[in-house]
Amino acid sequence: MLLAPRSKLLFIGDSITDCERARPVGEGLFGAIGKSYVGLVEGFLAATHPGHAIRVVNMGTSGHTVLDLKARWQTDVLDLKPDWLAIMIGVNDVWRQFDLPLQTEIHVSPDTYTRALNELVEASRARIPNIILMTPFYIEPNRADAMRARMDEYGAIVKKTAAQHNVRFIDTQAAFDAVLQHMHANAIAWDRVHPNNIGHAVLARAVLNHLGVSL
């Protein structure tokens, strides 16, 4: 496994990561980690590598875009001093363009998204040894669907950003596409965005496989 003993692994993102995690920091007893893939990652790390004592923290916040992450980066990431950082953001950056098309002032364009994501990585590389960029996703098999096509565009930005900064990359859309060959999208997410337990397991598996944890 890639994680060294007693490493601190922090996840940050939007509602898909959040899932009722505790405030101000999603860590601790009584479901503080939340109900997302982050909790599954924590559980499997402890079950498969109990001696490593990996510390997992959830800093997702529902409704956030990459610009919101930028506003809270110091307190919610840098001040917590993780050894590993996983960033998954972009669903709301894209979704607001479709569910609130007239409110253009809250839209995050591809150029703005690219610039902000690069700034976050640049601000973190010197202080966080290991960074993982995870693509946003839309649980829709039709790649010609307007929102799916737009999400793929933002996913490509994440992939390019990871390559430019030589940081780790997880294609969550590809993970869902593999499952969509056998299951309907409604069986994974009622709105094609917020996963049920199956969808969160898909995400957790993608993260754990990347970290070298066999399931």
When pLDDT is averaged across residues 121-128 and rounded to a whole number, the result is: 96
pLDDT digits (tens, 9 = 90+) for 34-93: 999 999 999 999 999 999 999 999 999 999 999 999 999 999 999 999 999 999 999 999
Determine the Cα–Cα distance for residues 15 and 89; give it in Å rounded to an integer.
10
Q: What is the mean pLDDT of the chain?
A: 97
User: Catalytic amino acids?
Assistant: 15, 191, 194
Determine the Cα–Cα distance for residues 110 and 23; give it in Å rounded to an integer.
30
Residue listed under structure tokens 């839309």: 138
When pLDDT is averaged across residues 100-120 and rounded to a whole number, the result is: 97
pLDDT of residue 10: 98
For residue 187, pLDDT over 90 is answered with yes
pLDDT of residue 215: 77
Q: Is 154 exposed, middle or buried (0-12, 13-18, 19+ CB in 10 A)?
A: buried
pLDDT confidence tier of residue 214, bands split at 50, 70 and 90: confident
Question: Has domain 8-210 been given CATH number 2.40.50.100?
Answer: no
Q: pTM of the full predicted structure? A: 0.97
pLDDT of residue 36: 98
pLDDT of residue 67: 98
When pLDDT is averaged across residues 198-214 and rounded to a whole number, the result is: 97
